[in-house]
Chains A and B, each alone.
Chain A
Amino acid sequence: MNPAPSVIIFTVLSGLGFGMLFWLGLGQAETGGMIGFWLFAMAFILSGGGLLASTFHLGNPQRFWRAFSQWQTSWLSREAILAVAALGLMGLFGLRQVFFAQDWVWLGRAGAGLSLLTVLATAMIYSQLKTVPRWNQPGTVVLFILLALAGGALITAQAGLAAGLFGLAGLAQLWVWYRGGQRFAEAGSTLASATGLGGRGQLRLFEPPHTGRNYLLDEMVYRIGRKHALRLRVIALLGMSILPAAIMLASGAGLLAGGAGLLAAGLAGAVHLIGVFAARWLFFAEAEHVVGLYYGRHS
């Protein structure tokens, strides 16, 4: 699939933002006064900014409001509704916390729940697609949620928890890559099933329908070099999981106190973000859509 920058930026940043909102809603961080203000502001910029980025790839963004209507069947519609609901509740919760130092525990919990459900809905948009077998596995959802929780825990200064979640996210990522490699064969779509011409002899594409590119090829039939992919996987895993986990473990164990601790957390955050961007780029670029079969791919 086409690794479009707007979608990569959207899923990474909004995931992180909603992860933060989750912890803020549960009261797991300092939420009063200036610190609280900046934490809430950051969470809103990440989640809201991500949502805004996602409208950049729409053909007719001015009609976005229509996307709130089909929650009964569409995960994209559910995501839109959940995101707005989560931002609304958490906005109210944040205002009361930051400016009035008042706590409505139930409001925060509800907001936290909706924030996590938003991440789940985002992941389901991809995971539900039978046409992209690599995404069509439960691991996709687990990974998106763990990444949101881990990044959120880091920014809300929960060092030990963040380290554990970084580790889990890394394991989930390894599992998703492993299963992802098997999913296309498991799904069972081949050139033979795509054309109904199986069982007669060796099949191959003789001539494509068009000699130039088209929307389908640009959007869904992508190819990346194996070596390149492997290198990126290493970068992704180190960045999103191993390095930040190590840094947070060290800082959680009290090895890095005061200013050094803050610096370390900043570094862990930056490294983590780079890792998640690399992983998300691969998530799209490596995903094979079954329509590629009609163009002689994957056979």
Chain B
Amino acid sequence: MTQLPPASDKKLGLVIDLDICVGCHACVISCKGWNTENYGAPLSDMDAYGENPVGSFLNRVHSFEIELEDGPAQNVHFPKSCLHCETAPCVTVCPTGASYKRAEDGIVLVNEEACIGCGLCAWACPYGAREMDQAEGVMKKCTLCVDRIYNENLAAEDQIPACVRSCPTGARHFGDFGDPNSAVSQLVAEREAVDLMPEQGTKPVNKYLLPRIKDRWLDQPEAGDVLPVVAEEPEGFLKWLDKALEKL
């Protein structure tokens, strides 16, 4: 059903720490690896070795630059996947009921058996979190690794989303935002955490921790201090050359 369920007590999602993400794309690759072999159709690549390769990914890392007034420019690596919005517009627009939000934990999923591949949900998502698989003609999106997090066959430390498991810097955290005492809720309370595009009214569950303010140059050197003028007046050979040129 594409009607949104009543708000669940459990709100599973991710916190992404923009302060420490180094932009290595490990989460992108581990996501593709896990999800191409598990839930639903594989994440296909078209023309993988050709001129114009294109493929489906559920997680992508953008990089942005902030030019600061009073300090060196700062790069921010910015991983982006489905934010499992509370008022998910991608769910309500779906004509078939393929797109749905789970009442029990708030995960937004696509039932690929029912998806007609109309693409309207991808249009409705402000974040570009949905990509149509070009081989299967069905909509692909982050499942929050629903096939890992409840999977008793996996070791306890593996029962988290693949992206969180593989992040070498610990920039990604998985947990329940419905529980104010969970580690993710604590992180959000302690640090400066934001919603992406709050004006779109989607109420994302996933949160982003803003990068901390980095060191500043204490006494910002003038260009002249770094490159002092070597000599005001030329001397020796240069003086001769200077004069010779002036005479021309």
Please list the residues of chain A having a beta carbon within 8 angstroms of any beta carbon in chain B. 1, 57-61, 63-64, 66-67, 69-70, 72-77, 80, 125, 128-132, 187-189, 191, 193-197, 200-210, 212-216, 218-220, 289-291, 294-295
Contacts and interface: CB of A to CB of B under 8 A. Distances in A.
B143 interface: no
A42 B131 CA distance: 38
Nearest to B56: A215
B45 to A, nearest CB: 11
Interface string B52-82: 1111110011111111110001111010100
B96 A63 contact: yes
A84 B198 CA distance: 38
A221 to B, nearest CB: 9
Given A201-B66, A215-B122, A194 B116 contact: no
Q: Which of A63, A195, A202, A218 has the most CB of B within 10 A?
A: A195
B170 to A, nearest CB: 20
A131 B97 contact: no
Nearest to A78: B95
B130 to A, nearest CB: 8
A271 to B, nearest CB: 31
Contact of B116 (A64, A203, A204): A64
Interface string B183-217: 00000000000111111110000001011000000
Contact of B62 (A76, A80, A205, A215): A205
Given A73-B3, A129-B124, A60 B117 contact: yes
Given A132-B123, A194-B197, A202 B66 contact: yes
A276 to B, nearest CB: 22
A290 B132 contact: no
B68 A200 contact: yes
B64 A197 contact: yes
Contact of B3 (A72, A75, A213): A72
B93 A128 contact: yes
A132 B197 CA distance: 14
A291 B123 CA distance: 9
A206 B56 contact: no
B18 to A, nearest CB: 8
Given A74-B95, A193-B199, A220 B66 contact: no
A220 B132 CA distance: 12
B57 A214 contact: yes
Contacts of A64: 116
Contacts of A189: 126, 197, 199-200
B196 A203 contact: no
B32 to A, nearest CB: 12
Interface stretch (B133-141, B151-159, B172-180, B238-246): B133-141
A188 B199 contact: yes
Given A194-B197, A200-B68, A60 B78 contact: no
B8 to A, nearest CB: 18
A220 B199 contact: no
Given A131-B124, A197-B76, A197-B210, A213 B52 contact: yes
A220 B92 contact: no
B136 A59 contact: yes
Contacts of B3: 72-73
Given A80-B95, A206-B75, A60 B138 contact: yes
A220 B123 contact: yes
A210 B59 CA distance: 11
Given A195-B76, A200-B66, A290-B126, A76 B118 contact: yes
Nearest to A191: B64
A210 B93 contact: no
Q: Which of A73, A74, A210, A220 has the most CB of B within 10 A?
A: A74
Nearest to B51: A212
Q: Which of B57, B128, B132 has the most CB of A within 10 A?
A: B128
Contact of B123 (A1, A187, A191, A203): A1
B115 interface: yes
A212 B18 CA distance: 24
A213 B50 CA distance: 13
B98 interface: yes
Nearest to B53: A212
A130 B126 contact: yes
The 5 A-B pairs of least Cβ separation, nearest first, read A59-B117, A59-B137, A196-B194, A209-B60, A77-B95
10 contacts: A58-B118, A59-B139, A72-B3, A130-B201, A131-B200, A195-B64, A197-B18, A197-B211, A213-B54, A215-B132
B1 interface: yes
Contact of B93 (A74, A196, A205): A74
B36 interface: no
B24 interface: no
B54 A215 contact: yes
B119 interface: yes
A290 B125 CA distance: 9
